[in-house]
Amino acid sequence: MTQDLFASSPALRFEIQAQDGNARAGVLTTRRGVIETPVFMPVGTAGTVKAIRFEELESGDLDAKIILGNTYHLWLRPGIETIKACGGLHRFIGWDRALLTDSGGFQVWSLGALRKITEEGTEFRSHVDGSMQFLSPEVSMEVQAALGSDIVMVFDECAPGNAAYEETEKSVGLTSRWARRSRMAFDRMQMNGADTGHIEAPGLSGRQALFGIIQGASHLDLRHMSLEQTVEVGFDGYAIGGLSVGEEKSVMFDVISDLAPRMPADKPRYLMGVGTPEDLVEAVANGVDMFDCVLPTRNGRTGQAFTCRGKLNIKNARWVRDQRPLDEDCRCMVCRRHTRAYLRHLYLAGEMLASILLTHHNLAFFLDTMRSVRQSIRSGDFPKFRREFTERLDANGE
Amino acid sequence: MTQDLFASSPALRFEIQAQDGNARAGVLTTRRGVIETPVFMPVGTAGTVKAIRFEELESGDLDAKIILGNTYHLWLRPGIETIKACGGLHRFIGWDRALLTDSGGFQVWSLGALRKITEEGTEFRSHVDGSMQFLSPEVSMEVQAALGSDIVMVFDECAPGNAAYEETEKSVGLTSRWARRSRMAFDRMQMNGADTGHIEAPGLSGRQALFGIIQGASHLDLRHMSLEQTVEVGFDGYAIGGLSVGEEKSVMFDVISDLAPRMPADKPRYLMGVGTPEDLVEAVANGVDMFDCVLPTRNGRTGQAFTCRGKLNIKNARWVRDQRPLDEDCRCMVCRRHTRAYLRHLYLAGEMLASILLTHHNLAFFLDTMRSVRQSIRSGDFPKFRREFTERLDANGE
């Protein structure tokens, strides 16, 4: 019976319900609920979206339907045996909604000199205890099965944004071979019941879903090759990796605008690790459905607020007695209750509440922006929304 | 009309509704709402109860009716002119419930070598910018009027817990003279309308209330003298100061058990800066009505949880896969959702959420304890509650 379901039902369902140019509004049905796309996923690196409680993420204010977890961080600490013993990542952290985990490839890559890449995988030094560790497609799939995330990412190799042709070509080749190994290891894990997150989900297999990642730096023909080889393996969704890693923004959008429309139209398209609110809107215009980025949380902790009039540095002396909320058009709990003067005071006094409140507002702004994006696509007003949104972002002039 | 009200209506009403031995359960009516006593007041030093949002303080989980603000800290940063320009402390921080502010006397005293005390007041070096500052009864009353807190504390001088007789006698004399000066300056401020927190409150003057502070270290006859001189000046409530400042716990309870029952029965009795949950219950047994303490918040940030079975150190390796909540008898949001294993992971990973969740639980535990205390006094079961509560605290054995 389970075997039947396994064969006949998909891990995910994705339906596009409205289209406006290349922009798409749809519904992604996962084993842990329905997600309207385009969607922004807050980043929960070490099993927590930093400075935010899960109750807030679930509240009407934010209502995040899916968050990220980081394979690399969770593997090193608390370790997979601990998370398995605690029943998988959902149960460990106390979150019932959907979880996507990255493969650890990007984190290990970003260790730079601390790692060594071979055909087999990547050897690196743990940032937690300095021990030598080894990550490969097989290990990454095993870890992500133990985490029991609802969407698993293949283990890939990232080339720098400005990587030369030959280096990138090699990297794409390795990524393709790793994608195939990821797929095989993943399928074996699913058959073995290694997935700790399995639940019954009507019309779905209840399995984890697996996404492929397209690499190729700024070289469009290599991006096309990577796309072709990745689609050939076959995945539940496809991601654009290796952007926002040091290249010019114009280069990033050259890749996105060329690549996204070529990606399978009936599968979710996920742009990894990007970006500012305006980046998100531009990428949606090119047909991207899913995003994650640390900007709203990380910048919140360093005193930067995203507002509909642009960025606002809460440390600025001009806010010392300013009675306005961070964003006069925002209806989040922070903007309903607190002034710039108070938030500035909290930040300067080193109070944790500054990080808590700025993170909350920033996430509200990102998630609200995506709500507006979806609405405007459905009502056929996306081009107008995009123009007005972008114009207004410059108004603050900070 | 205002003048009439001013003369005829009190700033506070205090009514004792049940008594069990020396323990009292009552209602303190302030211009910002009704507070059931005995009450625990979370400490909000710099205009925030550290690591907790106001929404949580207001939630059914915590439901704190009154919090503290620190005159010393707020005076130095963001400064009184800023808070005045922002409409007083309630409006500055976004909190509509009652606020009590200390006078700054204790903070300045605790600077030790950095301060110089004269008849006029205390000169000290700011911990924020190193500048020389001067605090006196008059300055403290001016600052607290600008803050607009609902309960103001007189500016006092604290002797160390183990202070010798002669030193303490001098200190008590100074405290009494400062109490008189505080009263005079306070009344002048009220007449001048300097109180930024004034609001209409049926049956009350709408003014700030002023509490006196009894000093005298461990010398009971000096405590009696201080009590007499403070009551002679006349205040809306009376506090016991200068405890939990280095003396033995038995000495502290010798003072409390002797002094509290002698304090005016028809006014609230406030034990400043004390203490553990068992300290609170013991002090209630001696007739104390109000408490504040940094323990639940400060210890929460360093990984210590208060539970009904005693303290729990979340760093302890034995919790690594422990699926139980911090306190199996607690119904707070943290205990309903998160395991010791997860909280330990958050703490070891240096995640802010560890502080947020431990602080929340600890405050819930303190506030719940006081709810149980009130209930048991009203039902005549306080001695039984006290015995069982204290016995159970030893069960954890940590």
| ipTM value | 0.96
- State how far the Cα of B76 lies from the Cα of B133, in Å rounded to an integer: 9
Active site (annotated) includes residue A292: yes
pLDDT band (50, 70, 90) for residue B397? low
Return the bridge partners of A313, or none: A304
- State how far the Cα of B231 lies from the Cα of B248, in Å rounded to an integer: 27
Q: What percent of chain A has pLDDT over 70?
A: 97
pLDDT band (50, 70, 90) for residue A3? very low
Task: Among A46, A86, A342, select the one facing B339 at the smallest CB separation.
Answer: A86
Looking at residue B7, its pLDDT comes to 57
pLDDT band (50, 70, 90) for residue B162? confident
Question: Are the beta carbons of B11 and B31 closer than 8 angstroms?
Answer: yes
Q: In this model, does residue A395 exceed pLDDT 80? A: no
Average pLDDT over residues A272-294: 98
Average pLDDT over residues A275-291: 98
Residues in chain B with CB shorter than 8 Å from the CB of A320 are: 78, 82
B196–A contact, CB cutoff 8 A: no
Average pLDDT, chain A: 95
CA distance B56 to chain A (A): 11
3-state class (DSSP) for residue B125:
strand
Neighbours of B394 (CB within 10 A): 10
Catalytic residue among A102, A156, A195, A279: A102
Dihedral pair phi/psi, residue B138, rounded to 5°: -65, -45
Buried b / exposed e over A104-115, threshold 16 CB at 10 Å, is: bbbbbbeeeeeb
Residues in chain B with CB shorter than 8 Å from the CB of A333 are: 55
Q: What stretch of H or E contains B144?
A: helix B137-147
Active site (annotated) includes residue A156: no
Taking CA–CA distances from B351, the nearest residue in chain A reads: A50
Question: What does the H/E/C string look like for A246-286?
Answer: CCCHHHHHHHHHHHHHHCCCCCCEEECCCCCHHHHHHHHHC
Residue pointed to by tokens 């716990």:
B249
Looking at residue A398, its pLDDT comes to 57
Q: Tell me, rounded to whole angstroms, the distance of Cα B344 from its chain centroid.
A: 29
Q: In this model, does residue B1 exceed pLDDT 50? A: no
B345 to A46: CB separation less than 8 angstroms, yes or no: yes
pLDDT band (50, 70, 90) for residue B396? low
B82 to A321: CB separation less than 8 angstroms, yes or no: yes
Average pLDDT, chain B: 95
Q: What percent of chain B has pLDDT over 70?
A: 97
Taking CA–CA distances from B357, the nearest residue in chain A reads: A53
Looking at residue B139, its pLDDT comes to 97
Return the bridge partners of A270, or none: A239, A290
CA distance B45 to chain A (A): 10
Highest mean pLDDT among B3-7, B104-108, B308-312: B308-312
Indicate yes or no: pTM above 0.80: yes
Average pLDDT over residues B394-398: 66
- Per residue in A92-143, pLDDT (tens digit) is 999 999 999 999 988 888 887 778 999 999 999 988 898 999 999 999 999 9
- State how far the Cα of A195 lies from the Cα of B305, in Å rounded to an integer: 33
- State how far the Cα of B65 lies from the Cα of B29, in Å rounded to an integer: 11
A94 to B342: CB separation less than 8 angstroms, yes or no: yes
Task: Pick the residue of B75, B318, B342 with the most A CBs within 10 A to test the interface with A by mutation.
Answer: B342
How far CA B228 is from CA of A13, B137, B219, B243, B264, in Å, comes to 78, 20, 14, 18, 10
Average pLDDT over residues A342-362: 98
Residues in chain B with CB shorter than 8 Å from the CB of A336 are: none
Neighbours of A36 (CB within 10 A): 16
Task: Pick the residue of A59, A86, A91 with the most B CBs within 10 A to test the interface with B by mutation.
Answer: A86
- State how far the Cα of B119 lies from the Cα of B122, in Å rounded to an integer: 8
Buried b / exposed e over B111-149, threshold 16 CB at 10 Å, is: eeeebeeeeebbbbeeeeeeeebebbbbbbbbbbbbbbb
Looking at residue B76, its pLDDT comes to 94
CA distance A325 to chain B (A): 12
- State how far the Cα of A24 lies from the Cα of A268, in Å rounded to an integer: 10
Q: In this model, does residue B295 exceed pLDDT 80? A: yes
Average pLDDT over residues A1-17: 75
pLDDT band (50, 70, 90) for residue B113? confident
- Per residue in B310-361, pLDDT (tens digit) is 999 999 999 999 999 999 999 999 999 999 999 999 999 999 999 999 999 9
- Is the bond into A383 cis (omega within 30 degrees of 0)? no
CA distance B66 to chain A (A): 18
Looking at residue A7, its pLDDT comes to 57
Contacts of A322 (CB under 8 A, 6+ apart): A339, A340, A341, A344
pLDDT band (50, 70, 90) for residue A2? very low
- Per residue in B40-99, pLDDT (tens digit) is 999 999 999 999 999 999 999 999 999 999 999 999 999 999 999 999 999 999 999 999
pLDDT band (50, 70, 90) for residue A397? low
3-state class (DSSP) for residue B17:
strand
Alpha carbon dihedral A141, A145, A146, A149, in 10-degree steps, equals 120
Q: Is A132 exposed, middle or buried (0-12, 13-18, 19+ CB in 10 A)?
A: exposed
Residues in chain A with CB shorter than 8 Å from the CB of B127 are: none
